[in-house]
Each structure stands twice: as structure tokens, then as C-alpha cells.
Amino acid sequence: MSDTRKSLVSALSYRDPRAAIAWLEKAFGFELTFLVEDADGNVGHSELSFGSSAIMVGGEWSENHASPASIGGKNTQSIHIRMTDDVDAHCARARAAGAQIIAEPETQFYGDRTYRCRDLEGHIWTVGAPVEEVSIAEMEARSGHKISTPS
């Protein structure tokens, strides 16, 4: 039976999707749930889960789908992992797996503790978890920004 709930799933292109899958499992704790391979054993498509979320990982399958490693490290999007666990421990796990930490764990004005890193091919990831409940007024006072939540 197929899942008919609405959702959003990011798809990432890697030069070496098999290595990326293994790295994402080791560094971030993703779990491989679906894998399509061609007759030569090349990854054509894969899906990995993280809690109730998922990502798709594949190769550079068209001229418009490239790894940051193939385009000078450029990213047109970044991926955010929302956690409930210890962000500092997750950062240490990612670092040990070879992630390039580009922003060390820090508690943000909105109450989440976050860090940013690049994966083995240069995709940028942000990882965060709430560590304190912060009101809109307090967020504004801490940041100097005007914050609204449209109804």
C-alpha cells in the first residue's frame, strides 16, 4: 500500500552515490530504506530515512543535476536536520566521519542549538535541536529583527 500523506523530500546528486549513502549513515544516522541499482551495480536511486523524514540520493543523472564537487563547491540549497538529540554529540559524530564543520555548535537567538557542515562532496547541512523556548518578543530583543508569524 502506498503512502498518500503530503510531504516534502529533498533529492541530492552525488558523483559517488554509494559512498554518499554509506557516509550519510555513518555521519548523520540516516538509514537506507530503498535502493535501485542498474545491471552493473551502479546506484540509480536511493531513499534514506531520518526519523519520519527522508531524502533521496542519486548520481549526476542529467546536465542539470550535479554534486557541489562537480561545480566548484557551489550549493543552491542546504538541508536542515531537525533533531531532538544532543547537537554537540551529533557534530562530533559528523566530524569523526570527515564532515567539514563550517560553523561550530552554537545556541541561536530563536532557541535552537545548531551547527553547519559540508559533507564528503560539499553539500551544506545545518543540524539543530531546540534547547530553550523563546517568545517572539525575546527573539526580536536578542536578534534586533522584526519577526512575525502570519496566520
pLDDT category, 3, cuts 50, 70, 90?
Answer: low
- Within this chain, domains 8-59 and 78-145 share the same CATH topology: yes
What CATH fold (topology level) applies to the domain 78-145? 3.30.720
> Per the confidence metrics, is the pTM higher than 0.95?
no
Q: Where are the beta strands (DSSP E) in 31-142?
A: 31-37, 43-50, 53-58, 79-82, 100-107, 112-118, 124-130
Looking at domain 8-59, which CATH architecture does it have? 2-Layer Sandwich (3.30)
Element (H, E) at 31: strand 31-37
Q: Give me the amino acid identity at 125.
A: W
d(CA 147, CA 125): 24
Query: Cell numbers 563547491 label which residue?
Result: 73
Q: What are the tens digits of pLDDT across the range 46-99?
A: 999 999 999 999 999 899 999 999 999 999 899 999 999 999 999 999 999 999
d(CA 77, CA 128): 17
Annotated domain spans of the chain: 8-59, 78-145
Residue in 74, 93, 24, 14 with CA at minimum distance from that of residue 53: 24
